[in-house]
Amino acid sequence: MYLKRLELHGFKSFAHKTVLNFDPGMTAVVGPNGSGKSNVADAIRWVMGEQSLKLLRGKKSEDVIFAGSDKKSKLSLAEVSLTFDNRDHKIPLEYSEVEFRRRLFRNGESEYLINNQHSRLLDITDALMRSGFGATNYAVISQGTIDQMIMAGPAEIKNLIEEASGVKPYYIKREKTLRRLEQTEENLARVSELAAEIEPRLRSLKRQAKRMEEREAVAAELALLQLEFYGSQFFVLETDLKAVTDRLGIKVGIIAKLEKEILSFEKTLEKEEQQSGSADNFLDQLDKHLKDLEEKRLMLAERLAEIKGKLRVESPVVRDFSKFQHEFEKILAALQSDNIEEVKKRLKDLVFQFGQSKNDELSKQKLALTLELEQIIKDMEEQKSVRNKLLAEEKQKKSFLTDEEKKFRAKNLELITIKDELNLILIEKAKLDTRLENLIRESKEALKGRFDELSQYKKVQFSSDLVNRISKLKHQLELAGGVDESTLNEYKETAERFDYLTTQSKDLTSAVADLKSVIDELDQIIKKQFDQAFEKISSKFVEYFRILFNGGRSVMTLMKSQADADSDADETDKEMPTIDGLRNKKTGPEIVGIEIKATPPGKKLASIAALSGGERALTAIALLCSMLAAYPSPFVVLDEVDAALDEANSVRFAKILGTLVHQTQFITITHNRETMRQAHTLYGVTMSDEGISKILSIKLEKAEAMAE
């Protein structure tokens, strides 16, 4: 990975869009003072997320925007982008080329973009840190800050070495873990306080709940006994009710049968009465008809007597009439219903025996009347026979109807008796129904929600002491008092809350232990990596110091806090340290800084403050080169760090840079010819009359070829 391109637009003196392309190795940026060379370093520092206006040589944020000149108006925004070749994916993004872009508008709004996607400053700094850049203080070193690398004090030197060795992310992770640990312990303390606060109330509620549980046990036993009691009561009552219902059904069946029979009797009697009425009418008509026949017979007898008188007067009687009359009356006296034909024959013989009248007409009338009289007599006999027969049938029917009426009355009497019995059964059933309703109501009040379970106990026969046991249990419940649902609910809620807090306390305690374990691991990693870095860098520092000073001696020593130094001799087992203790606790004594002592050739060993400005610059350069040699950075911007070096030291410095360009890309802003000689590309910065910086570039290899 290396820096491929820098684009500036509206940043400080670069009003126009300016592009600087870079290759691996060393690139030098040269130009007269005030032309805007250092603005290149500021632009790189700014786009990498620098927020310090002092380091950017400004007083307010809008100072990085081109402020205008006599010939050019000010711009409304500043924009800088860095493009990296990321084919080795050291920047943890899925791109072979990564561009970081920053914009600032004059109204104060700002934007950060990664490959033209809006991002946060945190995303840019995190990506750069994970790729090995560290912070901008190490990636961009200016003339004003080179001395500060060693003059800022042991603590700052220690920070530089930590940054170079890559332990800064572990420190950041450790700090985050410490904050999480602090929050976790605060939460644990709050949880413990809450648990301690509600525990006494929970104990009190638990005692009450226990009493209520005992009461519930009594209530449960009472409910079971009541189920047995009411179940047996229901069984007996329902058995009696079923028996009554069965009897009622039988009586209803008998009544239905009797009513059906009575209805049949009524229909039969009605039919017979109708038939008897018809027979009576027929007898009346028959009697009337007989009466008419009798009247007609009498009338014919009178006419026949009249004709006989006339025949006696008008016709001589051949024979003795008195004898004829005697025989005639004798024959008539013998007349019966079954000898009519015989009487007729005898009358004809009698008439022929005594002779005929002289008057034929009268004889004919007599004969006709005699025949008609005979027919009437015959009809009368037939009518009398029919009448006698009807009378006999009527007599028989009346006897039958009398028997049926007796049966009818008997059935009616039986029906009345059965209905009386039915009423008694209905009264008995009503009483049982009332008792059942009362039992249902009473059992529902007693059993409440368990009423539906009664069906399982309806055949249970309870013991003789069941009533006494139920009475005792009811008395116990009265002594225990009622169930306070609010207390039970409060107990459940408090118990759940306490269990939750207890669980949370265990989880938080485990989390505290885990976080402390993580901190211990980070401390071990930090110590191990820092010790390795200190050993490498201190060794390289001694080497580069001798090269730059052409001899001399230098040493880097670790500085420990006085408290840690005092405690080294007395390390015993102690309680778990607090957050503040952990924040400062590391594996072993705390390193508070790194002290550098340097002795140029011909001088005594002295502190950094005793060195001259040039000596301090060389010492700082030796430290910088030792860090780059031990832990190469992808690229470094050196802004006139060699300004204070003489020609001999410049040569040595340039040679050292030449040995490092294979592992670190250098962009040097310099006036030094030896430094320029190590570069493969030169960018010249000029300032036009408009106050705008412009860039010229040249490849030294091409320039040398052209010069030859």
Percent of the chain's residues with pLDDT above 90: 12
Distances (CA, A) of 225 to 202, 450, 466, 620: 34, 12, 7, 98
8 Å CB contact between 302 and 310: no
8 Å CB contact between 297 and 377: yes
Write out pLDDT tens, residues 236-282: 888 888 888 888 888 888 888 877 877 777 677 666 666 665 656 66
Query: Which one has a higher pLDDT value, 613 or 124?
Result: 124
Q: How far apart are CA 371 and CA 304, in angstroms?
A: 11
8 Å CB contact between 590 and 560: yes
Q: What's the one-letter identity of residue 143?
A: Q
Determine the angle formed by the axes of helices 340-354 and 321-333, rounding to 10 degrees.
180
Write out pLDDT tens, residues 22-62: 999 999 999 998 888 889 999 998 998 888 888 888 888 88
Write the CB contacts of 131 (distance below 8 Å, at least 6 apart in sequence). Answer: 1, 90, 91, 92, 634
Tokens encoding 374? 């005979």
8 Å CB contact between 119 and 112: yes
Which segment of 168-177, 531-540, 600-609, 675-684 scores lowest on mean pLDDT?
Answer: 600-609
Query: Which one has a higher pLDDT value, 166 or 244?
Result: 244
What is the per-residue pLDDT for 417?
A: 85
CB atoms within 10 A of CB 705: 9
What's the mean pLDDT in 664-677? 89
Domain 1-133+633-708, CATH homologous superfamily name and number:
P-loop containing nucleotide triphosphate hydrolases (3.40.50.300)
Closest by CA to 582, choosing from 512, 516, 522, 509, is 516
What is the per-residue pLDDT for 317?
A: 46
Beta sheet of 117-119, edge-to-edge order: 18-21, 2-9, 77-85, 97-105, 110-114, 117-119
On the question of pLDDT at 189 being above 50, the answer is yes
Closest by CA to 597, choosing from 573, 577, 615, 578, is 615
Q: How far apart are CA 698 and CA 29, in angstroms?
A: 11
What is the per-residue pLDDT for 603?
A: 77
Which segment of 410-414, 584-588, 604-608, 658-662 scores lowest on mean pLDDT?
Answer: 584-588
What is the per-residue pLDDT for 658?
A: 87
DSSP 273-319: HHHHHHHHHHHHHHHHHHHHHHHHHHHHHHHHHHHHHHHHHHS--SS
What is the per-residue pLDDT for 267?
A: 73
Q: How far apart are CA 651 and CA 653, in angstroms?
A: 5
Query: Which one has a higher pLDDT value, 164 or 393?
Result: 164
On the question of pLDDT at 7 being above 90, the answer is yes
* Beta-ladder partners of 484: none
Q: What is the SS3 string spanning 121-144?
A: HHHHHHHHHHCCCCCHHHHEEEHH
Provide the phi-psi class of 193: left if phi over 0, else alpha when psi is between -120 and 50, else beta. Answer: alpha
Tokens encoding 7? 């684009």
Average predicted confidence (pLDDT) for the chain? 78
Identify the DSSP state of 610. Answer: G
Distances (CA, A) of 147 to 103, 602, 622, 628, 653: 31, 22, 12, 17, 16
Task: Indicate the pairing of strand 635-639 with strand 606-607.
Answer: unpaired
Which segment of 108-122, 494-508, 576-590, 691-705 scores lowest on mean pLDDT?
Answer: 576-590
Q: How far apart are CA 648 and CA 645, in angstroms?
A: 8
Q: Which helix (H) or strand (E) holds 151?
A: helix 148-151
On the question of pLDDT at 152 being above 70, the answer is yes
Tokens encoding 595? 């002290």
Q: In the chain, where are the structural domains located?
A: 1-133+633-708
Q: Tokens 């060393």 — which residue?
A: 26
What's the mean pLDDT in 5-15? 93
Q: How far apart are CA 579 and CA 670, in angstroms?
A: 48
Tokens encoding 246? 């069965």
On the question of pLDDT at 66 being above 70, the answer is yes
* Beta-ladder partners of 118: 113
Tokens encoding 196? 């301690």
Write out pLDDT tens, residues 401-423: 566 667 777 777 777 888 888 88
Total number of residues shown for the chain:
708
Q: How far apart are CA 1 and CA 634, in angstroms?
A: 7
CA angle at residue 539 from 536 to 545, to 5 degrees? 130
Q: What is the SS3 string spanning 310-367?
A: HHHHHCCCCCCHHHHHHHHHHHHHCCCCCCHHHHHHHHHHHHHHHCCCCCHHHHHHHH
